[in-house]
């Protein structure tokens, strides 16, 4: 059966699947990145994993995979197929597409993790059918994916969608990017955890604890939460003023708070817009499978555009 390899490389773990033409997950596997042994070991683990997936496909599905899609964190030059930088994996300028193509002998697509997850959310997840969407992931940091007519915009240098570094509080807390008052320093799951640990006096309290305290009506938690929601709404209104998305999909750890987040967030966005059209604001639907599903879509898209025989290195 014709199928592709889908591989999502995270900070600590990798998720992979063999995906059929109809999107069916024919086989799934996970393994650690091994980042504690350094970036070269991570690259070797990715290549080994891909080789095993290829062998498994050939053995159980009657033919080897026709292509591969790989999602990686950090900064990614998708056009060149190079993983340019990832703080959590410690790598720089890894020519992953070339390495994988020469080992697998099939076309390989390389994508940025949030843009790849956003592709899946926009096409087969929470934004299914939307011609224009914005996917925003609220995790350790904040990043976005701009969906236009079924694909995700990477930008000229692979930096499009970095909404987490839109300054929403000039002069605010320092950000590792070099600016102050970036959205992700105020509204990421990490920022809310930090703020709630300080406000509650419990150093172990995190964003999920804050959400629970908000749901039970703790005024201290409501104040911390609303500050994050207001910062998030400021950043999102900037984005929707520029992009005019039909659907705004919010994912990542903070979105797991459900209506504790979405009810005040929809209100805060509605209060800020004047002439802009309000998008539908919905939670992400695919959870942590989004990156792997998106990597599968990248691989199938590559076959559609290259007829499946051309190998680009
Ligand atoms: Zn920043």
* SS3 of 2-16: CEEEEEEECCCEEEE
- Could you tell me the distance, in angstroms and rounded to a whole number, from the CA of residue 115 to the centre of ligand 1? 18
**Residues facing residue 143 across a β-bridge:** 137
| Listed residue (67, 35, 37, 73) closest to 50, CA to CA | 67
The C-alpha atoms of residue 229 and residue 195 are separated, in whole angstroms, by 13
pLDDT digits (tens, 9 = 90+) for 71-117: 999 889 988 999 999 988 999 999 999 999 999 999 999 999 999 99
CA diameter of the chain: 61
- Could you tell me the distance, in angstroms and rounded to a whole number, from the CA of residue 202 to the centre of ligand 1? 26
Q: HSE of 112 in the Cβ direction (CA atoms, 13 Å)? A: 29
Question: In sequence order, which residues have a C-beta less than 8 Å from that of residue 176 and are 6 or more positions away?
Answer: none
Statement: residue 129 has pLDDT above 90: no
- Could you tell me the distance, in angstroms and rounded to a whole number, from the CA of residue 141 to the centre of ligand 1? 9
Dihedral sign, Cα of residue 300, residue 304, residue 307, residue 313: negative
pLDDT given at position 96: 98
Q: What is the mean pLDDT of the chain?
A: 95
0.85 exceeded by pTM:
yes
- Alpha-carbon dihedral 135, 207, 222, 166, rounded to 10 degrees: -40
- Could you tell me the distance, in angstroms and rounded to a whole number, from the CA of residue 163 to the centre of ligand 1? 9
- Could you tell me the distance, in angstroms and rounded to a whole number, from the CA of residue 142 to the centre of ligand 1? 9
- Could you tell me the distance, in angstroms and rounded to a whole number, from the CA of residue 102 to the centre of ligand 1? 37
Q: Which domains does the chain have, with CATH numbers?
A: 3-116+288-304 (3.30.420.40), 129-284 (3.30.420.40)
- Could you tell me the distance, in angstroms and rounded to a whole number, from the CA of residue 170 to the centre of ligand 1? 11
The strand order across the sheet containing 108-112 reads 25-32, 13-20, 3-9, 68-72, 108-112
pLDDT given at position 123: 95
pLDDT digits (tens, 9 = 90+) for 172-230: 999 989 999 999 999 999 999 999 999 999 999 999 999 999 999 999 999 999 999 99
| Listed residue (30, 38, 113) closest to 70, CA to CA | 113
Quick one: what percent of the chain has pLDDT higher than 70?
Answer: 97
pLDDT given at position 265: 98
- Could you tell me the distance, in angstroms and rounded to a whole number, from the CA of residue 298 to the centre of ligand 1? 28
- What H or E segment, with its residue span, contains residue 96? helix 96-104
């Amino acid at each position: 059966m014709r199928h592709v390899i889908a591989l999502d490389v995270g900070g600590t773990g990798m998720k992979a699947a063999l995906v059929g033409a109809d999107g069916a997950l024919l086989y799934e596997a996970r393994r650690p990145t091994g980042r504690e042994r350094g970036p070269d070991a991570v690259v070797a683990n990715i290549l080994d994993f891909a080789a095993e997936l290829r062998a498994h496909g050939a053995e159980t599905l009657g033919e080897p995979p026709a292509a591969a899609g790989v999602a990686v964190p950090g900064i990614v030059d998708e056009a060149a197929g190079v993983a340019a930088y990832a703080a959590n994996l410690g790598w720089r300028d890894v020519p992953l597409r070339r390495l994988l193509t020469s080992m697998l002998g099939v076309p390989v697509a390389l994508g940025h993790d949030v843009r790849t997850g956003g592709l899946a959310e926009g096409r087969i997840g929470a934004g299914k059918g939307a011609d224009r969407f914005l996917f925003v992931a609220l995790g350790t940091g904040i990043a976005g994916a701009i969906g236009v007519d079924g694909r995700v915009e990477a930008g000229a240098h692979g930096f499009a969608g970095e909404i987490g570094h839109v300054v929403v509080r000039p002069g605010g807390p320092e950000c590792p990017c070099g600016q102050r008052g970036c959205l992700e320093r105020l509204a990421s799951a990490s920022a809310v955890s930090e703020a709630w640990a300080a406000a509650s006096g419990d150093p172990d309290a995190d964003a999920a604890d804050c959400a629970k305290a908000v749901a039970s009506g703790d005024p201290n938690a409501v104040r911390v939460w609303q500050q994050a929601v207001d910062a998030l709404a400021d950043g999102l209104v900037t984005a929707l003023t520029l992009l005019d998305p039909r659907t705004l999909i919010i994912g990542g750890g903070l979105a797991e708070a459900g209506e504790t987040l979405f009810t005040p967030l929809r209100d805060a966005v509605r209060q800020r817009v004047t002439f802009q059209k309000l998008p539908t604001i919905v939670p992400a639907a695919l959870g942590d499978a989004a990156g792997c599903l998106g990597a599968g879509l990248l691989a199938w898209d590559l076959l559609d555009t290259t007829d499946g025989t051309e190998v680009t290195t």
